[in-house]
Amino acid sequence: MSELVFEDVSVRYGSRRGGLTAVDGVNLTVPSGQVVGLVGESGSGKSTLARSAVGLAPLTAGRVLLDGTDVRRWPGRRRPLQMVFQDPYSSLDPRMTIGASISEAMPMPRTGVRFAGRRAAARRAEVARLLELVNLDPDRADMLPGHLSGGQRQRVALARALAGRPRVVIADEITSALDVSVQGAVLNLVRDVRRQLGLSMLFVSHNLAVVRYLSDIVAVMYLGRIVEAGPTEQVLSDPQHPYTRELLSAAPSWHTPLFEGSRDFEGSDAEPSDPHRPPAGCRYHPRCALGPRARPDRDVCRTADPARDAERRPHRAACHFAGEDYFAGEDLAGEDDDRQEPSALASRAPEAGRLSPTSPEDHKRPGAGRSSPSSAEQPARPGADRPTPPTGGPTPPKGART
């Protein structure tokens, strides 16, 4: 187990005049043996931050430390840090067999040519072990990725990441490209493998229910900066930053019809700021229900950056008015039924301990293994009676077409 630390990390693309700062001075720690869930809307910089750790996004400033050592200066060719990508259809070479893709990531043993036969046998045995670890039949090692379904490909991608013997795994939206029927099985697999091997993990996702199911710590990102971070249960049950509350209010609830949500927060319909020219002061103030758009007297949001003293606030919230009630001081006579406090918003991301099986486990159908992306997912091992995590979508009414 290892600790991954992002220290004042910035990533900028383009020139100084017309460029884009995708990540701006981020400080984030993935503690040893824990999972940090990174959430935020599209374009907030989540994937860029994840890619910076493995060298796919060059750092403009700051450092990424693994056990106190800069990953760019890690001794040897291979870093004990691996990444599982979002799209299982493009992350594997279509002309390489599954076994070849997995064995390519294995560290090369320092043995002579006379032991080449033993080395090849050992690599085949390790490929079989890794495929079994991710609940795939070792006989599939000679198959091409085109013969597998999306869920099976993502299992292969996880096995390939584990082949590098990492201490930290970065998972970037690994279930977003999968069918709802197989997302739960893949998430259960990720959780089991992480616990079995004692890995640290940075898990990037849009789905708050998935983050709550997997993560010990959650960090919320907006326009290239971390605006709130803390223990998952605390952040989701008592959000301090207005943006975190907006994310929670936007999540579908089991108890609320899809198009009849809570009372809209002031400013929630505003357009996001241009990331090429982020606003001064608090970057969220043009959309914030607590800022000058709703309360003109709060000029501090336009002039002072709340991230400078975020450490003294709960959850390190980058907000001058962190934790303040959205509806404080408003006349809500006759509207009490529509009012929702932050504690009520937390119910939109169900707890991991109270999950209900909303997605079927993988199952095998006739035609599995054919050369088609729609091949059926291989069944999980017997005895896997764990509840399947929710995937964030509402349950259709009885009798409705799907």
Mean pLDDT, the chain, rounded, equals 78
**Tally of CB atoms within 10 A around 248:** 23
Tokens of residue 111, six digits:
């043995």
Quick one: which of 137, 337, 317 has its CA closest to 243?
A: 317
Q: Are the C-beta atoms of 318 and 282 separated by less than 8 Å?
A: yes
The set of residues, in sequence order, having a beta carbon less than 8 Å from that of 193 and lying 6+ positions away, is 133, 134, 158, 162, 199
Strand locations in 91-172 (E): 168-172
Cα(380)–Cα(364) distance, integer angstroms: 10
Give the per-residue pLDDT at 310. Answer: 86
Please state the rounded mean pLDDT for residues 23-39.
95
The pair of structure tokens assigned to 333 is 């006579």
CA pair distance 166, 200, nearest whole angstrom: 9
Q: Angle at Cα 71 formed by Cα 70 and Cα 76, nearest 5°?
A: 115
- Mean pLDDT of the region 319-325: 83
Residue 219's DSSP bridge partners are: 38, 229
Local structure of 282: helix, strand or coil: coil
Give the pTM: 0.77
79-88, 107-116, 279-288, 371-380: which has the minimum mean pLDDT? 371-380
Describe the strand order of the beta sheet including 69-70 as a list of residue ranges: 20-30, 4-13, 61-66, 69-70
The sheet with strand 35-39 has its strands ordered as: 81-84, 168-172, 200-204, 35-39, 217-222, 225-231
**pLDDT attached to residue 272:** 77
DSSP E strands in 232-371: the ranges are none
Q: Which two tokens stand for residue 12?
A: 């900028």
> Which residue intervals of the chain bear CATH 3.40.50.300?
4-222
Pairing assessment for the beta strands 35-39 and 61-66 based on DSSP bridges:
unpaired
CB hemisphere CA count around 289 (13 angstroms):
21
Cα gap 13→22, rounded to integer Å: 7
Joined tokens for residue 107: 């560290």
Which tens digit of pLDDT belongs to each residue from 222-249? 999 999 999 999 999 999 999 999 888 8
| DSSP notation for 25-48 | EEEEEE-TT-EEEEE--TTSSHHH
* Residue at token pair 């997302």: 183
Distance CA 83, CA 340 (A): 38
The model's pLDDT over 327-368, given as tens digits with 9 standing for 90+, comes to 444 433 333 444 344 444 454 554 444 344 343 334 333 344
User: Which of 12-21, 33-42, 115-124, 299-308 has the least mean pLDDT?
Assistant: 115-124
Length of the chain: 402
Question: What H or E segment, with its residue span, contains residue 5?
Answer: strand 4-13
Instruction: State which H helix or E strand residue 65 sits in.
Output: strand 61-66
pLDDT digits (tens, 9 = 90+) for 365-398: 334 433 344 444 444 444 444 445 554 544 444 4
> Angle formed by the axes of helices 150-163 and 116-133, to 10°?
130
pLDDT at position 101 over 90: yes
Fold observed for domain 4-222: Rossmann fold (3.40.50)
Reported confidence tier of residue 63, pLDDT bands at 50, 70, 90: very high
pLDDT higher than threshold 80 for residue 213: yes
